[in-house]
């Protein structure tokens, strides 16, 4: 971590701790980590430095919630996510940091607005949830929703590791409870972030220096994951959903700066 001040190192450590917390508790918190890394490091470099830490958190989350994943949903999402990652890789190669950041912020705010509108319209139509955590009235067109959100999640995760908000809103809108949400979310990002690694390396986003830095910060990720696991069972479902939406909206506004 040569060249970084004590404040910079502290901010990176806090960001790493929040990565772990987001993977085992509230997914939207990871957006704060993205903002902190981008505040300390150059935008492109911060994207590569954060990816290995996200993978560490993904492994911990899968170990904790692997039995709660909904694989049919994941299988529907992956084809469009792969396309989104490829489009995102081309985008990263040709645009500057400002355009990249503001595009993502605008897209995420649009998703939040749509989710709130849909939630209001479905307020009185909520049925009992089955044992898998999925509501009896999911998206009317599952494949269309998977296509749109898969493309968006793939694109935003490749551009700025910001696929979490899009995936969070897709799962919330599909009616998942906390454990169904966290299990599906964990497997999704473990696979997608591993898929992104060769593209990030080819774009020069991963460097030996950033990997050494990540090896140190991984300890904070593990601590954050432990804290998140301890807290998640104490969160009410409605509070959980509101916090995910709140952090998504705040991080989106920050990206528009």
- Map out the domains of the chain as residue ranges: 6-255
Residue 76 CB-half CA count within 13 A: 18
Residue 9 has pLDDT above 70, yes or no: yes
Asked whether 25 and 237 are in contact (CB, 8 A), the reply is no
pLDDT digits (tens, 9 = 90+) for 89-101: 998 888 887 787 6
Residue found by looking up tokens 């605008």 in the block:
106
Q: What percent of the chain has pLDDT over 70?
A: 83
Tell me what pLDDT residue 141 has: 65
29 Cα distance to chain centroid: 9
Tell me what pLDDT residue 166 has: 78
pLDDT digits (tens, 9 = 90+) for 174-203: 778 888 888 999 999 999 999 999 999 998
pLDDT digits (tens, 9 = 90+) for 35-44: 788 878 887 7
Residue 254 has pLDDT above 60, yes or no: yes
What are the distances in angstroms from CA 68 to CA 79, 184, 186, 187, 228?
22, 7, 10, 10, 17
Categorize the per-residue pLDDT at 255 as very low, low, confident or very high, splitting at 50, 70 and 90.
low
The contacts of residue 158 (CB under 8 Å, 6+ apart) are: 84, 85, 86, 87, 88, 89, 91, 92, 196, 199
């Amino acid at each position: 971590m040569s060249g970084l001040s004590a404040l910079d190192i502290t901010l990176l450590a806090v960001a790493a701790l929040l990565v772990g917390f987001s993977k085992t508790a509230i997914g939207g918190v990871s957006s704060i980590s993205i903002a902190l890394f981008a505040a300390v490091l150059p935008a492109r470099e911060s994207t590569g430095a954060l990816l290995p830490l996200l993978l560490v958190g993904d492994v911990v989350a899968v170990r904790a919630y692997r039995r709660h994943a909904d694989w049919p949903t994941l299988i529907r999402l992956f084809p469009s996510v792969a396309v989104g990652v490829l489009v995102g890789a081309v985008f990263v190669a040709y645009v500057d940091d400002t355009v990249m950041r503001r595009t993502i912020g605008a897209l995420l705010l649009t998703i939040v607005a749509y989710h709130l509108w849909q939630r209001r319209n479905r307020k009185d139509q909520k049925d009992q949830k089955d044992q898998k955590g999925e509501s009896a009235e999911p998206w009317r067109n599952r494949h269309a929703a998977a296509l749109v959100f898969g493309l968006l999640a793939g694109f935003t995760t490749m551009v700025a590791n910001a696929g979490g908000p899009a995936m969070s809103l897709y799962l919330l809108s599909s009616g998942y409870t906390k454990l169904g949400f966290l299990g599906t979310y964990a497997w999704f990002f473990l696979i997608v972030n591993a898929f992104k690694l060769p593209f990030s390396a080819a774009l020069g986003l991963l460097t030996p220096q950033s990997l050494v830095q990540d090896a140190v910060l991984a300890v904070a990720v593990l601590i954050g994951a432990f804290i998140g696991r301890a807290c998640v069972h104490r969160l009410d479902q409605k509070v959980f959903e509101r916090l995910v939406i709140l952090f998504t909206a705040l991080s989106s506004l920050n990206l528009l700066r």
